[in-house]
């Protein structure tokens, strides 16, 4: 079976331990996002773990991977402060789609995983004024929410954004991600060009993993 190594900082779910190669995904951001409507706001959340974002089309993957790298020093400080080896990061966006200003909770996200409720350990604003909690018509703000890595992204989750609860991760997204990972392995295998050594010794252990490009 094709395998790719787990990058530093990715949390320890089964999806993270067996990573698909980067650059072969085809999903859009909205395909893997949890989205709710709450009193005129559209709120969208995407885990920034490699096991998730590698299923995205290359441009989207590179953008979210770069975001994760940009906040990596802050994530490391949160992990050190809380006594954790690593943390789990989510990109959360708030859009005001109604007339007039809309209010939002800058820390308004909770995840229920394996019978436990997780609230953010910290929130890292990505735009000025994020902590104001007020959004003008047609405007958007975003932040990185930092969670305990015990949240199991390969298991059903219930996510609360604002005052709205979503089971989309359990109902739709897990199955979509699994299908896309299967398709990625097929694409990667089809694009692989064996070396002369591999042609002579096709049984050589680990030959597939070494040929898959990594970012």
Q: pLDDT tens, position by position, for the chain (215 residues)?
A: 333 444 444 554 554 447 999 999 999 999 999 999 988 899 999 999 999 999 999 999 999 999 999 999 999 999 999 999 999 999 999 999 888 999 999 999 999 999 999 999 999 999 999 999 999 999 999 999 999 999 999 999 999 999 999 999 999 999 999 999 999 999 999 986 444 443 433 334 443 333 334 44
Q: What is the dihedral of CA 23, 175, 172, 163, to 10 degrees?
A: -70
Fill in the DSSP letter of residue 20.
Answer: P
Q: In the chain, where are the structural domains located?
A: 14-211
Residues in the chain: 215
**Cβ atoms within 10 Å of 75's Cβ, excluding its own:** 21
Q: How many CA atoms lie within 13 A of 178 on its CB side?
A: 11
DSSP state of 131: G
The CA angle 196-19-45, to the nearest 5 degrees, is: 145
């Amino acid at each position: 079976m094709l395998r790719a190594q787990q990058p530093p900082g990715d949390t320890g779910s089964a999806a993270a331990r067996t990573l698909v190669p980067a650059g072969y995904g085809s999903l859009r951001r909205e395909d893997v996002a949890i989205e709710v409507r709450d009193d005129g706001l559209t709120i969208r959340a995407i885990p920034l773990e490699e096991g998730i974002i590698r299923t995205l089309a290359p441009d989207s993957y590179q953008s979210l991977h770069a975001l994760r790298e940009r906040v990596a020093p802050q994530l490391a400080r949160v992990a050190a402060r809380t006594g954790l080896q690593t943390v789990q990061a989510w990109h959360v966006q708030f859009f005001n789609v109604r007339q007039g200003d809309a209010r939002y909770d800058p820390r308004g996200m909770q995840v229920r995983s394996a019978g436990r409720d997780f609230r953010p350990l910290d929130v890292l604003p990505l735009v000025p004024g994020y902590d104001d909690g007020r959004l003008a018509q047609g405007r958007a703000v975003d932040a990185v929410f930092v969670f305990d890595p015990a949240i199991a992204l390969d298991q059903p989750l219930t996510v609360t954004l604002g005052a709205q609860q979503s089971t989309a991760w359990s109902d739709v997204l897990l199955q979509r991600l699994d299908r896309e990972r299967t398709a990625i392995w097929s694409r990667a295998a089809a694009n692989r060009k064996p070396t002369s050594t591999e042609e002579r010794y096709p049984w050589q252990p680990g030959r597939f993993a070494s040929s898959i490009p990594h970012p």
